[in-house]
Structure 1
């Protein structure tokens, strides 16, 4: 079924961009969090810049999950199936991936992402849900990050081996293969077979981006499981390049890639210490400016900074926009957020009140409850002015610690209800994210250092004139200018403090800066606040965008 659309996207050499999850929109729910939304932004910018990219991912027909929260904040997960036939085109080409001694049939659904300025990127969603496959094999493409280690290994085999094979079957001429995290590392083994085991040829073809700054976050599989699932034909290669004792998917990618990068300068430093002997570069993440800029700010930028969608660098000229119009755009987006939040949660948030936003995957190192470490101090801050906060985020179904965090926030909200309005929004997705980052006054980020590889939500907030108030980790070390682009929580990474000293410093900054700097500026010095908003746009958003990110991949890795 060679349609005109498919023939068009097959032309020329391509960069094949592999990612376990890709977040293009809420109607195609094949993402769980930051990795997927980053991949979506990479695709969007590639289309805008007319880069020759093709993306490969899994279909995840049963979505990540739909989050339900009861009155006490207890999370339950509901299946949230979606119908690819309504949005994608099933391609006829079929390849085999041997799994547990069976040939599993893999096909691809095509979605062509169209840029508003004319470019297009094909996205291939790999699927095993066909009658010819056994039921256990049909389910491989059902659940993103679902099941046990065996299930994950099967998925990674379909993504890596199956992805390369489907690209070949479709006639793509691939110049480079970009692995967005280690889930797709099996593609390098497939390339070893294609290149007659010439490791230098394979390394020249492969690019690897690591996103995880802690050892425990990297996928590892026992060789007993690998033998059981994949057989013995590739064991020699896997042990040689992926580790003798256990198959480490990150090591496999590191050993078979010429270009390796972390996703922030600090992350590159940490990764170089974790993985000695490898040259690891730093390409700091970015976000797609047009996607994450709210409607009211888009109108302003179109009027005063024409061309900003293609050249986000033009946001550096934000001072051309009158202060009153900056404030009015913010207030309109804030009103839309408050109206939405009050409607879905039966809250009574005030659009005139200072509003904090916090929305991330609910897991312990993100420390979503740090704000509530001293409730008496929080009440004191609130008594002088008015403070309210909106939280959101899903916990992985098996992350009991993350689920407890959500319950704790519910408990704090109940305890503080007569003083401070705290709302936790259910079933966080890209649509809710856009409302939040476009409408709060300050974006709060409190990760445990050094576990934030990059983070991108604060970059999205900056596109909407929202200030960041964050622990100095990930990208914020690069974007932070104290009292200009936002504020730091805790010590600089160069300061040598033990854990208790660091925690004390974080709490001091969190409460003191809220009480004595941030909230008074918001309420009492509006001109200063608007200048801070402009700084967030002109000094942060102009640089921390995926157009800059993808241009760097082109010049440093793809060419």
Structure 2
């Protein structure tokens, strides 16, 4: 079982460069080369050793190198320019605000199993994650009202190595979230945001983390909590790992848990964007909300359909998970009554023709 009582503390920085802490917690630096230089110029070797992770870099850099940078006129000139650029970026008027001033209260929630924003947060495997990460960066640059929702995998995706015999070996790393750019999402009183997701025979506790990507925030879900059983703590361990039961649990956590997390945070999206089918269960949770709020199932379907966007990165059957009816009974059977339909009606939601027939 993973260590739970791990604490990392960033040392006090010299006053003249104290905002490096702030810069380290915003991945804006990752697509602004001059901002990256503020770290690599102090210790290029360490910057490579920590995989360009600025939080970990500030934990391990030698104090004399910080002091040297703090009095270097050339370094300070770059530092002041970068921080001025960051302030302008974060506080200035955006393209979206200028173009659509009457729609600034609109919000897109973008759900994805992967977010490839930067190598220091390795919770992605390839193209799908990089696409999601680029969406976040572009949304930030344009000033779109946009949040992401994903899973914070403790071991991420495997790194491939080839052994002496020429065989591929998969190696997983253990990530200490306290040494990453993520921070716990909190309530106004400072308490951590923790939700519960219903799985067969128990409720699983899910902690919400957040990652600042310029103006955009990505919220990540994590079950590695002491309140959960060992098995449930491992549910968010690996991207695309485990058997069918693990995969459906992950997709319930992402979809249903993601909706609950946004509700806890007081976030009410106008549009819900599903990037690939891994987050498709957000549809069920939103239907449940509408029906429990008094709408009929057909009306709830129309309301959800009108505000849902779906994009696919892999438009072939092999790129999508398929779960048997027996698994749906086991994991989601409690929803039949909550959306006021029977088993056949619920199963029909999975088919285009069946869902249309219900309306």
TM-score normalised by length of structure 1: 0.40
CA separation in 2, counterparts of 1:26 and 1:238? Answer: 41
1:105 to 201, 205, 220: 205
Are the aligned partners of 1:23 and 1:39 in contact in 2 as well (CA < 8 Å)? yes
Asked whether the equivalents of residues 101 and 231 of structure 1 are also in contact (C-alpha less than 8 Å), the reply is no
Task: Give runs of ≥4 in structure 1 deviating > 6 Å.
Answer: none
* Structure 2 portions without partners, runs of 5+: 1-24, 26-89, 92-103, 186-191, 292-296, 337-341
Structure 1 residue runs without a partner (length 5+) = 115-119, 244-250, 257-559
Would you say the 8 A contact 2:155–2:175 is kept in 1? Answer: yes
Report whether the alignment pairs 1:224 with 2:326: yes
What's 2:81 paired with?
A: none
- Deviation of residue 13 (structure 1)? 3.5
Determine if contact 1:101/1:230 at 8 Å carries over to the other structure. Answer: no
Q: Which has the higher Rg, Structure 1 or Structure 2?
A: 1
Deviation digits for residues 286-337 of structure 1 (CA, Å, limit 9, x no counterpart): xxxxxxxxxxxxxxxxxxxxxxxxxxxxxxxxxxxxxxxxxxxxxxxxxxxx
Contact 1:30–1:59 under 8 Å retained in 2: yes
What is the TM-score of this pair, normalised by structure 2? 0.62
| Corresponding residue number in structure 1 for 2:315 | 213
Match of 2:116 among 3, 11, 23: 23
Matched residue, 1:188: 283
Kept after mapping to 2: 8 A contact 1:13/1:173: no
1:35 to 128, 151, 164: 128
Q: Deviations over 1:338-383 (max 9, x none)?
A: xxxxxxxxxxxxxxxxxxxxxxxxxxxxxxxxxxxxxxxxxxxxxx
Q: Quote the residue 1:169 is aligned against.
A: 264
Q: Which residue of 1 aligns with 2:151?
A: 58
Aligned to 1:203: 305
8 Å CA contact 2:116, 2:129 repeated in 1: yes
1: CA distance between counterparts of 2:166 and 2:108?
A: 44
CA separation in 2, counterparts of 1:255 and 1:48? 38
Cα distance in 1, alignment partners of residues 112 and 324 from structure 2:
23
RMSD, matched Cα: 2.7
DSSP-derived class of the 1:98 partner:
strand
Residues 171-216 of structure 1, C-alpha deviations (whole Å, 9 max, x = no match): 0121110000010000001110122231110101100112223223
Find the residue that maps to 1:107 and give its secondary structure. strand
Say whether the 8 Å CA contact 1:180–1:209 is kept in structure 2.
Answer: yes
Q: Supply the distance in 2 between the matched residues of 1:224 and 1:25 (Cα, whole angstroms).
A: 39
Is residue 75 from structure 1 mapped to residue 175 from structure 2 by the alignment? Answer: no
Q: Distance in 2 between matches of 1:255 and 1:82?
A: 42
Matches within 5 A, 1:536-555: none
Cα deviation per residue 1:261-301 (whole Å; 9 max; x = unaligned)?
xxxxxxxxxxxxxxxxxxxxxxxxxxxxxxxxxxxxxxxxx
Counterpart Cα distance in 1 of 2:159 and 2:315: 28
Task: After TM superposition, give the deviation of residue 19 of structure 1 in Å.
Answer: 0.2
After superposition, the Cα gap between the structure-2 partners of 1:94 and 1:13, relative to the gap in structure 1 and judged at 3 Å, is: farther
Residues 521-532 of structure 1 mapped to structure 2, 5 A cutoff: none
Structure 1 pair 78–201 and aligned structure 2 pair: CA distance change class (3 A): same
1:223 is displaced (CA, Å) by 1.6
Task: Supply the distance in 2 between the matched residues of 1:161 and 1:224 (Cα, whole angstroms).
Answer: 19
Query: Number of matched residues?
Result: 239
* Matching residue of 2:35: none
Superposed counterparts of 1:347-496, under 5 Å: none
Match of 2:227 in 1: 132
Verify the 8 A CA contact 1:17 1:55 in the aligned structure 2. yes
Structure 2 residue 195 is the aligned partner of structure 1 residue 95: yes
1:255 deviation in Å?
5.8
On the 8 A contact 2:184/2:193 being kept in 1, the answer is: no
